[in-house]
Amino acid sequence: MATVVAGFKETDGAAKFPVLLRPIAFIALLLALWQFAVSRHPGQLLPGPWAVVLAIGELLRSGLLLKYVVASLFRVTWGFLLAAALAIPLGLMIGWYRRAELAVNPLVQLFRPISPLAWIPLAILWFGVGDVAAIYLIFVGCFFPLLLTAMSAVHNVPWAYINVGRNFGLSTREFLLRVLYPAVVPQLITGARITLGIAWLVVVAAEMISVSSGLGFLIVDARNAGNRYDLVVAGMVIIGVIGLLLDLAMRSLEQIKAFRWSYSKD
């Protein structure tokens, strides 16, 4: 029996190896097709993958890549954290007190559909051209998704949990720490993961207009400085890779044991 089990384990491990190679093989195939298409039409403006790799190397040697990545991450971090610090507690409070929700919800639904990019003229007018304007745009882009996530998380807490907490005579502080917050954390992590992606999108757009550094500025500057489309595509690739890494970092929070307590019935 042990041999059979060991055999299954070995088979499962061997089966996982080709599965892990499939996405790598697919990406390699796409890159080969991309290079082949560019080589057949060398006059096209789209650079090949090797030209993009050389452009990334150029950015590394000049030090601009590190500078621009740090600038973009700085703005995203501050905009996202400021929005989370304000929107999550406010959303939990509004979601808990139904009268407050009835009063505030019309304003939330009015401002929520407005694109953060629509605030660019006002951001430049209020804060000028610089980091503060970009951080403000990221804050606006993150605030309402986090607010609605927190409100929804409170609504989804089963009343059985709330009644049990009350029956045990928990104080308000104990109820928040031992019942409400553990119940809403899984949904808040999911909402924060989606919102961080929005923040990364907004910072790139904001940097194309309101600042003179960052990955968004890199793309515009490369386009204006002699049509360096290899640098343009290099900037796009870097943005995509960093966005993937940010998403993986947020997903890793779901594996923390203290955050895995949920209100599912499984």
Is 192 a member of any domain?
Answer: yes
Is 101 a member of any domain?
Answer: yes
- Reading the block at residue 139, the tokens are 């804050």
Average pLDDT, the chain: 81
Helix (H) or strand (E) holding 213: none
Position 238 confidence tier, pLDDT thresholds 50, 70, 90 = very high
Overall domain count for the chain: 1
pTM (two decimals): 0.80
- What's the distance, CA 112 to chain centroid? 18
Range of weakest confidence among 28-37, 53-62, 127-136? 28-37
Is 18 a member of any domain?
Answer: no
pLDDT at 70: 93
pLDDT at 128: 83
Is 154 a member of any domain?
Answer: yes
Helices 131-155 and 120-127 cross at an angle (nearest 10°) of 120
- pLDDT at residue 243 is higher than 80: yes
- Reading the block at residue 111, the tokens are 């401002």
pLDDT at 145: 92
Smallest CA-to-CA distance from 147 within 88, 107, 195 is with 88
The b/e string for 144-179 (b: 16+ C-beta within 10 A; e otherwise) is bbbbbbbbebbeebeeeeeeebeeeeeeeeebeeeb
Enumerate helices (H) and strands (E) in the chain, giving the number of each: 11, 0
- Reading the block at residue 49, the tokens are 């993958």
Is 165 a member of any domain?
Answer: yes
pLDDT at 49: 82
Sign of CA dihedral 133, 67, 144, 257: negative
- Reading the block at residue 223, the tokens are 């386009």
Is 29 a member of any domain?
Answer: no
Q: What percent of the chain has pLDDT over 70?
A: 86
- pLDDT at residue 112 is higher than 60: yes
Determine the structural domain holding residue 74 and report its residue range.
51-259
Average pLDDT over residues 61-65: 88
Q: How far is CA 1 from CA 5, 6, 7, 9, 60, in A?
A: 6, 9, 10, 12, 56
Is 61 a member of any domain?
Answer: yes
CA distance 81 to 78: 5
Average pLDDT over residues 117-131: 87
Range of weakest confidence among 23-32, 147-156, 170-179? 170-179
* Opening angle at CA 241, ends 239 and 245, nearest 5: 115
Average pLDDT over residues 27-34: 80
CATH number for position 67:
1.10.3720.10
